[in-house]
Amino acid sequence: MNIGFEGRVAIVTGAGNGLGRSHALALAGRGAKVVVNDLGAARDGVGASSQAAQEVVALIEANGGEAMAHGANVANMAEVEDMVDQAMQRWGRVDILINNAGILRDKSFSKMSLDDFKLVLDVHLMGSVNCTKAVWEIMREQNYGRIVMTTSSSGMYGNFGQSNYSAAKMAVLGLMNTLGLEGAKNNVRVNALSPTAGTRMTEDLMPKDLFELLTPQAVTAGALVLCDEDAPTRYILCAGAGGYASTRLFETDGIFLGTGQQTPENVRKQWDGVSDTSNQQQLDSAGKQTEKFLVKAMTDMQAQS
């Protein structure tokens, strides 16, 4: 069945270049009305220009679509609220939000200033928080919403020189996990995209022939699945160069130590059991971990009685 977005309104942040541009064009090409958000800053977040966003709007309109540009800095809540207000005034709803805007300030942790650390968190994490907060009640009241966070393999697995970026990209997964639970009853589904693409953020990090395999369009194909009416929720989709996979957090079954046995020495002695993956499982919420440990404790109590 074809995926389409007729009658839907989408906001894509950081949509003037790279992945955001690809997402915005693809959504519009399948019928969505699109807010093309872009501050127009350089890769490190310096500067501002509306030119890139206006070019994307012009492309959409030239192909018969509807779009508007907005230069909100996603780290500034007042500007984000103005962007959402303008979308509501023009189209009366917001159905899709792709939190894509980002910057890089790469350095090893020992050489990184706290200002550079905080700035990257402000854009990636608080930018996602601000944009999501601005559309959250709209989506809840209309009983429909599709929100995509942009995470990264750097966050999930680590990458030298990117402690700030990695921290932010892992944080949006925590945001996704809780908002997916909170939005469920109002049909607001929240997912995450982990892209590998050849954009201005990565163009000097790899050889040209490999860079050209990593097309933004390959990632966008996955992103649009997360924007669809039949999207999953709390799902991490990894996409790049035509490859698609999911990342999930699993917890081992673990071991149990009774009262009087709960010492660091005994924990270390049973480390193989703590680490054994044979009965690992994906937990639906934080409470499931507490439930698992209490079941082990109660089972032991019953065996002792």
Active site residue 165: yes
Q: Which two tokens stand for residue 183?
A: 């939005």
What is the Cα 34 distance to its own chain's centre? 19
Contacts of 141 (CB under 8 A, 6+ apart): 186
> Rounded to an integer, what distance in angstroms lies between the CA atom of residue 66 and that of residue 164?
36
Rounded CA-CA distance 209/198 in Å is: 10
Please, where are the H alpha helices in the chain? Answer: 18-29, 51-62, 77-91, 114-121, 127-141, 153-157, 163-183, 208-211, 216-227, 264-269, 271-275, 286-304
Query: From CA 273, how far away is CA 4, in angstroms rounded?
Result: 48
Structure tokens at 191: 């997912």
Catalytic residue among 157, 165, 235, 244: 165
14: phi > 0 → left, psi -120 to 50 → alpha, else beta; which? left
The CA distance from 262 to 223, in Å, is 46
Residues with catalytic roles:
165
